[in-house]
Amino acid sequence: MRRLLACVLVFAAVSGGPGAHAVQPDEIMADPAKEARARDLSRELRCMVCQNQSIDDSDAPLARDLRLLVRERIASGDSDNQVMDFLVARYGEFVLLKPRFTPRTLLLWLLPPLALAGGGLALWLYGRRRPRSSTAADPSLLKLSEEEEVRLERLIAGESAPEKRPV
């Protein structure tokens, strides 16, 4: 029981804690406000090697170079937008983990909601065109025959139905 509890506590500590960052101690800026800006920006930038990881989380040498470049630009007095614009000009929109909403990325942003709406419309149209069940279309099929009504009355009254013997 103690082992199970220890495993659960270790799992909770590992999964619930903050993610590991790849920022090395020699990269950290002396000014905490500038370092916070650099960390925020590096969380929004894609590692070109890992591709689905931010440069803040990546151990790739290119990610380290980008982190240093971000810190260098911040140290030189650039605003957050200027740093991002510089990196987009140098590496393209792909460097952003969350692309900007521009006419060029319009399809990227609108395709998921349009696909969802199209799927919903297709299901709705399919449901309207599908033939109804035969019992709902013909209420006379829901009526019991005379023999079935007699048998039902006997069952309700508590009498057993006459047994049919095999021939």
Q: Tens digits of per-residue pLDDT, 157-166?
A: 887 655 665 6
The answer to whether the predicted template modeling score (pTM) of the entire model surpasses 0.75 is no
Buried b (16+ CB within 10 A) or exposed e, 24-39: eeeeebeeeeebebbb
Res. 115 pLDDT band, cuts 50 70 90: very high
> What pLDDT, on a 0 to 100 scale, did the predictor assign at position 82?
93
Cα separation, 106 vs 161, whole angstroms? 72
> What pLDDT, on a 0 to 100 scale, did the predictor assign at position 120?
95
> What pLDDT, on a 0 to 100 scale, did the predictor assign at position 130?
78
What does the CA dihedral 46, 48, 50, 52 come to, rounded to 10 degrees?
30
Phi-psi region of 102 (alpha: psi -120 to 50; beta: other; left: phi over 0): beta
> What pLDDT, on a 0 to 100 scale, did the predictor assign at position 72?
92
Q: Tens digits of per-residue pLDDT, 28-73?
A: 777 888 889 989 999 999 888 887 888 888 888 888 899 999 999 9
Residue 19 has pLDDT above 50, yes or no: no
Cα separation, 111 vs 90, whole angstroms? 27
CB-neighbour burial class of residue 54 (10 A; exposed 0-12, middle 13-18, buried 19+): buried
Q: Tens digits of per-residue pLDDT, 83-106?
A: 999 999 998 888 888 888 888 888
Pick the CATH number of 32-97 from 3.40.50.300, 3.20.20.120, 1.10.8.640, 3.30.1490.20: 1.10.8.640
> What pLDDT, on a 0 to 100 scale, did the predictor assign at position 3?
76
Write the CA distances from 137 to 53, 71, 127, 129, 132, integer angstroms.
57, 72, 16, 14, 7
> What pLDDT, on a 0 to 100 scale, did the predictor assign at position 34?
87
Give the start-to-end residue ranges of the domains of the chain.
32-97
Residue 10 has pLDDT above 80, yes or no: no
> What pLDDT, on a 0 to 100 scale, did the predictor assign at position 114?
94
Q: Tens digits of per-residue pLDDT, 130-139?
A: 776 655 556 6
